[in-house]
Chains A and B, each alone.
Chain A
Amino acid sequence: MAYLCNVDIGGTHTDAVVIDQRGSVTEAKVSSTPDDFSRGFFNALEQGAAKRDLALDELLERTEVVSHGTTVGTNAIIEGEGVDAALVTTRGAEDVMFVMRGGAAVSKGQSIEDVLSFRDASKPDPIVERKRVYGVDERVDCMGDVVVDLNEERVRNVARELARNEVDAVAVNLLWSFLNDSHEVRIEEILEEELPDGTFLTRASDLIPKWGEYERTTATAINAYIGPSTSEYIDRINDGLGERGYDGTLLVMQSGGGVMSAEDAVREPVKTIDSGPAAGIIGCRYLSERLEHENIIAADMGGTSFDIGLLTDGEPITQPNNVINQYEYMIRNVDVDSIGSGGGSIAQVDADTGRLQVGPESAGADPGPACYGRGGTDPTVTDADLLLGFLDPDHFLGGRQHLDESKARDAMSAIGDELGMSPEEVASGVFEIVTAKMADSIRQRTINRGHDPRKFVLYAYGGAGPLHVPAIAPQLDVDTVVVPSGDTSSVWSALGVSSSDFLYRQEVSNITTAPFDPAAVTDSFRAIEDELTERLRAEGFEPDEIDVERYADLRYQAQVHQVSVPVPNGRLDESDMDTVVNRFERKYEDLYGEGAGYTESGFEMVTIRCDVSGRTTKPNLERESSEGEAIPKTETDVLWPSEGRRLATEVYEGTELGPGMTVDGPAIVRMNHTTVAIPPEDECEIDQYDNYVIDIGGE
């Protein structure tokens, strides 16, 4: 028996998932060990091994792939626990990470309610302290020409001061270095000479040679900030795996939508930030291939937030920049938007106007919904779900969390009194409102990008997703909702990592004007893809396991917006250049509306990108068909908001259902990590992967 293992390190818990070649999944969960994350890593694997009656070494010897998703880097930034890092930059550009982009930095990543309020307006804490930012005299211009030669004496003085101050990591980013990296390379050489071995060094022209100094400096600085601690624990895990019998490469999940080797993760840890949501989307891609769905809206509803990602033509939509802690940095990532609607969203009545509102404030996990009995007194979406009858107080989360219905009722009544509504009416209203808000958010993110939601399938996961998303579907005219792989939707992220390909991605800016020289463009692509392919070969991938994808970001001349389009492989000719331009114009119109483009402006190619991927071993999720029919455990009255009344609703136990069975709505399926709601008139079929496929009828 061969295995795939994935370990997810979170702030509180470390989860392990062991998948065997028959598709059977074993989960393990331990506490994270922040003083040395590798301990929790192996503890989790050990627990997973034990559940299969194996010693850890036995498991690892038979494991084909060990993969890893981490929030260590993300948490380090959010909690301000990175190292004492320094930044070396062009003199005059020292304030780039303090000015940021002005006002946009204050509002970045915030809900609209917070954007409109200045009471708590602020910029985030620095990633690199101002006194650790060193400007050196040098200058390159927009054509890559050197305007001021590198002042090496200055560099050497800086290097000596860095050594004196014992900095742990140094980021180097000069203006226009992506066009001419000679100064950055020379600075790196001098730093290597003057600084102790083991100082973490990262330079922008290597990490992300793209146009735009703020987002590029931030990416480089973040890499330095989390570099030493991330690399330390990953190295330890890597060594530990080898010692315990694993002879493969440790694969680490990237926000970009693929995995990388531990060695790469150690060098470029900035790519691990927000890898979790990306993994979920890649899991959706893997599933969509099997289910032959082309266009998916992936909806993850948890306790505090509702995360939305899109896949079109079977591929996840990526965005060039990401945001963390109000900092925007340019590492391409799977685009997942987060809005403040979750199970913990608080329902309240506005003091001045008497209006019922739901969110964006959240009760979080602590104290959590009133019904959790942890001291929360605000009514939340979860309390509403309970009062409506969707949740069983004794069987929530597989019985691990008891729900106190009286507390939910009290909390909801307090609001009900102010509105002249019964607690059930309020609960129904809360459900409807949060549904409408999520539908609006999805609409904004599909229609506004030129996509018609009616052509999409909704994939629903997260603690509250499978309950709420089937109710959102009719509002978008979406007729299919898929709850992936039944009960493992809580370790969906882990499955996602296990189903990710190995990805090397490099983006390089060099702004040229149409007509583009096909030979020069070919050479530029080849320079990147040859190197990346070489690295994949070194990882052990055969040529037929390697895929190369080319993209170019174009813009209309002197316009701001860039659009990314695929570029043909191989040696390019003039007709290929025409193809690229046509694709750009068409996609621009799709995104921004007919007549939005203005050909007369002329075109510029700004950045080229190569995604070189190596196909990894994927888990087999196919199950055997179950015998028999779905038999409900019990029946309960549920107030379905869409119907406005209580209906007798059958309740099933997820562990008693399997592939091939069908369940007709109205019905509820209880699982260890979530609850699936199948609305009246809808039908649910469990497919051979244990997915719950809900056909949205009615409307």
Chain B
Amino acid sequence: MDTMDPRERERDERLTRMLRAAGAEADPALWTRARARIEALERTPGPLAWLMRPVGLAGSLALFVAAAGMSSALLRALPWQQPYEVVTLTDQLLSEGSYADAEPPAANGAAPGAARDSGGMP
């Protein structure tokens, strides 16, 4: 049973009529825009389309940063040996000089360890 008083019902109906009085029409330009956007998206190859999506892009960046960080940490942790010893020219000359002082090389084809020629007649 409807208990609403007639005056209140009239106000209610008037409000409903007012609410129904405004609206929008389907805009053909909007459909054209949406269709062009959908077609453009569907023409893009799958992985590229995924990358173009903000979440995809953020995910790829995060993966890249994580991979770069891990590689850098691994490289630092490895026991690296230098492939050659860095020596300055001065160090090299000094070290060669000390060899020369220690023992001169055998001359005139004498066998190493042979007695030195005294210069006297046999």
A binds B: no
